[in-house]
Structure 1
Amino acid sequence: MPARIALVSTRHLDTPDVDEELLLPLLPEAQIAYWDDPDTDWAAYELVILRSTWNYTEHLSEFLAWATRVSQVTRLVNPVEIVEWNTDKRYLADLAERGIPIVSTTFVAPGEEITPDAVAGHVVVKPSVGAGSKGAKLFDGQPEEARAHAAALHNDGATVMIQPYQKAVDEQGETALIFLGGRFSHAARKAAILSRDMSWSTGLYADEKVVPTEATPEELELAERIVAELPDLAYTRVDLLPSDNGPVVLELELTEPSLFLALHPQAPATAAAAFRALLV
């Protein structure tokens, strides 16, 4: 029987995605397919689920064009409208306008001026389109170096994000809350990456130290508030940082997030059931 579901990855992923390895035995209706394989017949699938398409940041226009084509012949999840919005972190400004607390962020497009205040102190400078901390650097009282990194990103055509470093992350880490089929499933604690040496064993994203955790009531309340304002999605990952005023959003992962299924015994089955329920 032909596969009804495509779990979409990339041909250039050197290390298999752990989530997919856990999902496939529980989801016999599915198989791996590659967004950057021009020979794939996407119309042959009833459901196309974005998963480990982690090289899209280097080919964003091609990726979005591909997602649009797929959405015209079958069901793509998460949907292309969400993907178009979520693949550029300028969506954080949209969240802030809705009253969602975010990490304070200054966006500077190529050709725009970077003010001295923006790069003063302990700051993170990174592109607004990126994954796995690629292109992100930490500067502490190094405004000229921060400007130089921003200029290099601008030269590549990137809009730059400048954020004050949240020092509490060094002790408390970053919390990722995973929702499957619109319901909270589990949470993960991610250690700080930028303040320590990074490795790139996958070739596409920085290696992360991730462990299971319990979300605090404040973290869960904020994440559920965000999910309630979104359309029904197959999966949502809300990444939060601690601050003096409570949790704040670092990222809202709706396109190709790691779901950290290995961290909770029921998570793979929950994900498989949520994805199977999307078949009509």
Structure 2
Amino acid sequence: MTARIAIVTTVELPVPDADEELLLPHLPEAELVGWDNPEIDWASYDVAVLRSTWNYTDRLDEFLAWGERVGQVTRLVNPIDTVRWNTDKRYLDDLARQGFATVPTTFIAPGESVPADALAGHVVVKPSVGAGSNGAALFDGDPAGASAHLASLHERGLTAMIQPYLSQVDTQGETALMYLGGTFSHAARKAAILSRGMSWSTGLYADEKITPCQPTEAERALADAIVATLPGLAYARVDLLPTPDGPVVLELELTEPSLFLGMDAGAPERAAQAFRALLG
């Protein structure tokens, strides 16, 4: 019987993601399947690889319950325990407690008071559960506007997170390091999004300007150290921002990250090999 791999997307995505278009020719065992398609027999797949499930943020409980069910009938990667932890950016507190350099972050749940001066200066306010810059807003010397945005997130029942805007990103960009099967694959540089006008061609995530890059030794050291604590994952993406004191973690993407496979000629085949190895 031929092995089958589900590359998990959403029925809401109007076209296949760019990563998927590059991956599938190298992985004939795989097919695109919407997580939110109720007609799918998940037990018919040997492996289900989470990829472009970008609408889960508005349906998190439903998504996690789906993952629990699927994980009982096939191999879900990354695993549901990892996904549950990673879909709420409060994991940044866990990374900081482990000694990793992260963007300083204050989390404010609905009903909690905001610390004095937390919204002053140049800050980003966004939901702790979110993807593709959805719900993220930048404020510079506008604590009233930042407070109003935070209140709007709370009205939706969302925990808000407040971070200082690290302005070096405007000139140096954000570095994304991709790991496949635990091994570093390639990196990409993302231009700042929040400080310029955003566009939303798919409706599910903000359009990004992406270019290939070589990470610095400091970026590799930080990302490598984090990924080394996460054995057994099919993929990981570590997003870093520059500071005068070195790189810091903005996000650790273990659920549905774009892997920017088009940024390196060998990346699609490496991804296919990593996903095929899950069948063993």
Instruction: Note if 1:62 corresponds to 2:37.
Output: no
The worse-fitting range, judged by mean Cα deviation, of 94-103 and 114-123 is 114-123
Q: Which residue of 1 aligns with 2:36?
A: 36
1:68-97 deviation line (CA, Å, top 9, x unaligned): 000001100000000000000000000000
Deviation of residue 115 (structure 1)?
A: 2.2
The TM-score with structure 2 as length reference comes to 0.99
**Percent of aligned positions with the same letter in both sequences?**
68
The TM-score with structure 1 as length reference comes to 0.99
Deviation of residue 230 (structure 1)?
A: 1.1
Q: Distance in 1 between matches of 2:132 and 2:72?
A: 29
- Any residues of structure 2 matched to 1:219-258 within 5 Å, and which? 219-258=219-258
| RMSD after superposition | 0.8
SS of 2:278 mapped into structure 1: coil
Deviation of residue 116 (structure 1)?
A: 3.0
Q: Which residue of 2 aligns with 1:142?
A: 142
Deviation of residue 3 (structure 1)?
A: 5.7
Deviation of residue 232 (structure 1)?
A: 1.6
Counterpart amino acid of residue 143 in structure 1: P
Counterpart amino acid of residue 253 in structure 1: E
Deviation of residue 14 (structure 1)?
A: 1.8
The runs of 5 or more residues in structure 1 that have no matched partner are: none
Does the 8 A contact of 2:123 with 2:163 survive in 1? yes
- Any residues of structure 2 matched to 1:179-194 within 5 Å, and which? 179-194=179-194
Q: Distance in 2 between matches of 1:252 and 1:14?
A: 26
Counterpart amino acid of residue 135 in structure 1: G
Does the 8 A contact of 1:175 with 1:239 survive in 2? yes
1:204-256 deviation line (CA, Å, top 9, x unaligned): 00000000000000000000000111122100000000012100000000000
Q: Distance in 2 between matches of 1:250 and 1:83?
A: 17
Q: Distance in 2 between matches of 1:232 and 1:239?
A: 20
Q: Which residue of 1 aligns with 2:155?
A: 155
Deviation of residue 2 (structure 1)?
A: 5.7
Counterpart amino acid of residue 5 in structure 1: I
- Any residues of structure 2 matched to 1:121-136 within 5 Å, and which? 121-136=121-136
1:183-223 deviation line (CA, Å, top 9, x unaligned): 00000000000000000001100000000000000000000
Q: Distance in 2 between matches of 1:196 and 1:53?
A: 26
Does the 8 A contact of 1:116 with 1:143 survive in 2? no
Counterpart amino acid of residue 40 in structure 1: I
Q: Which residue of 2 aligns with 1:15?
A: 15
Counterpart amino acid of residue 212 in structure 1: P
Q: Which residue of 2 aligns with 1:119?
A: 119
Q: Which residue of 1 aligns with 2:5?
A: 5
**Size of the alignment, in residue pairs?**
280
Q: Which residue of 1 aligns with 2:261?
A: 261
SS of 1:33 mapped into structure 2: strand
Counterpart amino acid of residue 85 in structure 1: W
SS of 1:107 mapped into structure 2: strand
Q: Which residue of 2 aligns with 1:76?
A: 76
Deviation of residue 117 (structure 1)?
A: 1.4
Deviation of residue 124 (structure 1)?
A: 0.1
Q: Which residue of 2 aligns with 1:172?
A: 172
Counterpart amino acid of residue 18 in structure 1: A
